[in-house]
């Protein structure tokens, strides 16, 4: 059985477009992973909240704090 390191080296060596694009041939993989992460942040709810609801609430709280500090 091949060791993990040898298998990984073999996969990287035989990656499509490796000779033409070099290290940039992995870019589509990371693009898809980023899109999947973004999709999960939008659609994955824990209870009633997801990432963007938390972000929006925090941002509104920051704006309110700034306005209160300016008025005081």
Give the dihedral sign, CA 56/57/61/64.
Answer: positive
In this predicted structure, which of 4-8, 49-53, 59-63 has the lowest mean pLDDT? 49-53
Cα(64)–Cα(20) distance, integer angstroms? 53
Q: Tokens 């073999």 appear where?
A: 10
Q: Give per-residue pLDDT as tens, 7-54.
A: 999 988 899 998 888 889 999 999 999 999 999 988 888 888 888 888
For residue 26, count other CB atoms closer than 10 A to its CB: 14
> Rounded to 5 degrees, what are φ and ψ at 17?
80, 5
Q: Tokens 């589509």 appear where?
A: 28
């Amino acid at each position: 059985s091949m060791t993990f390191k040898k298998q990984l080296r073999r996969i990287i060596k035989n990656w499509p477009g490796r000779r033409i694009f070099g290290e940039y041939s992995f870019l589509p993989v990371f693009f898809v992973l980023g899109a999947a992460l973004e999709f999960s942040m939008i659609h994955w709810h824990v209870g009633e909240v997801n990432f963007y609801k938390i972000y929006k609430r925090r941002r509104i709280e920051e704006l309110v704090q700034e306005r209160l500090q300016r008025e005081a």
